[in-house]
Chain A
Amino acid sequence: MSDRDLIIDRYKDLLKTYLKGKSETALYKGQQFSRKLIEQQISPDDVLSDHVSVLHELFPDMSEELKDSFDFLLEVMIGYGFAYREHQSLRTRQRQLESEIEVAASMQQTLLMSDVPTVDGLDIGVKSVPAKKMNGDYFNFVKDHKSVSIAVADIIGKGIPAALCMSMIKYAMDSLPEQRMQPNLLLENLNRVVEQNVHPNMFITMLYGLYDTDLHEFYYAGAGHEPGFFYRASEDRFEDMFAKGLVLGVSRQTRYKEYQLRVNLGDMIILLSDGVTECRTSKGFIERDEIVDLIRAHMHKPAQEVVESVFNELERLQEFELRDDFTLIILKRKV
Chain B
Amino acid sequence: MNIQSCVEVCNEWDIVSARQLGRNMAKELGFGNVDQARITTAISELARNIYLYAGNGKICIEAAEKMGKRGLKIIATDNGPGIKDIRKVMEDGYTTSGGLGAGLPGVKRLMDEFMIDSVVGSGTEIIATKWLR
Point out the residues of chain B lying under 8 angstroms from A46, CB to CB.
34
Q: Answer yes or no: B93 CB below 8 A from chain A CBs.
A: yes
Could you say which interface size class chain B belongs to? Answer: 10 to 19
Known: A79-B100, A83-B100, A85-B110. A45 touches B92 (CB 8 A): no
Q: In the docked arrangement, what's the CA distance between A45 and B106, Å?
A: 15
A330 to chain B minimum Cβ distance, whole angstroms, is 51
Known: A90-B93, A93-B92. A83 touches B101 (CB 8 A): yes
A-B contact count (CB 8 A): 56
Contact check, A82 vs B106: say whether CB atoms are below 8 A apart. yes
A-B contact pairs, 18 of them (CB 8 A): A49-B32, A49-B33, A49-B34, A52-B33, A71-B37, A74-B34, A75-B40, A82-B100, A82-B102, A82-B106, A82-B110, A83-B102, A84-B101, A86-B106, A87-B101, A89-B92, A89-B105, A93-B92
Supply 10 further A-B pairs (C-beta < 8 A) apart from A49-B33, A86-B101. Answer: A45-B34, A52-B33, A71-B33, A74-B37, A75-B37, A75-B40, A78-B34, A78-B37, A82-B102, A82-B106
Q: Answer yes or no: A81 CB below 8 A from chain B CBs.
A: yes
Chain B contact residues, CB within 8 Å of chain A: 32-34, 37-38, 40-41, 92-93, 99-102, 105-106, 109-110
Contact check, A86 vs B37: say whether CB atoms are below 8 A apart. no
B33 to chain A minimum Cβ distance, whole angstroms, is 6
Point out the residues of chain B lying under 8 angstroms from A87, CB to CB.
101
> What string of 1s and 0s marks CB contacts (under 8 Å) between A83-106 and chain B?
111110110010000000000000
Contact check, A86 vs B105: say whether CB atoms are below 8 A apart. yes
Interface of A is mostly: helix
Point out the residues of chain A lying under 8 angstroms from B32, CB to CB.
49
Point out the residues of chain B lying under 8 angstroms from A86, CB to CB.
92-93, 99-101, 105-106, 109
In this complex, what residue of B is CB-closest to A70? B33
A42 to chain B minimum Cβ distance, whole angstroms, is 11
Point out the residues of chain A lying under 8 angstroms from B40, CB to CB.
75
> What string of 1s and 0s marks CB contacts (under 8 Å) between A24-50 and chain B?
000000000000000000000110110
Contact check, A89 vs B33: say whether CB atoms are below 8 A apart. no
Q: In the docked arrangement, what's the CA distance between A89 and B100, Å?
A: 13
Of B37, B92, B102, which is within 8 A of A90 by CB? Answer: B92
In this complex, what residue of A is CB-closest to B45? A82
Contact check, A85 vs B33: say whether CB atoms are below 8 A apart. no
Point out the residues of chain B lying under 8 angstroms from A75, CB to CB.
37, 40
Contact check, A82 vs B41: say whether CB atoms are below 8 A apart. yes
Which A residues from 42 to 83 make CB contacts under 8 A with B?
Answer: 45-46, 48-49, 52, 71, 74-75, 78-79, 81-83
Point out the residues of chain A lying under 8 angstroms from B38, CB to CB.
45, 78, 81
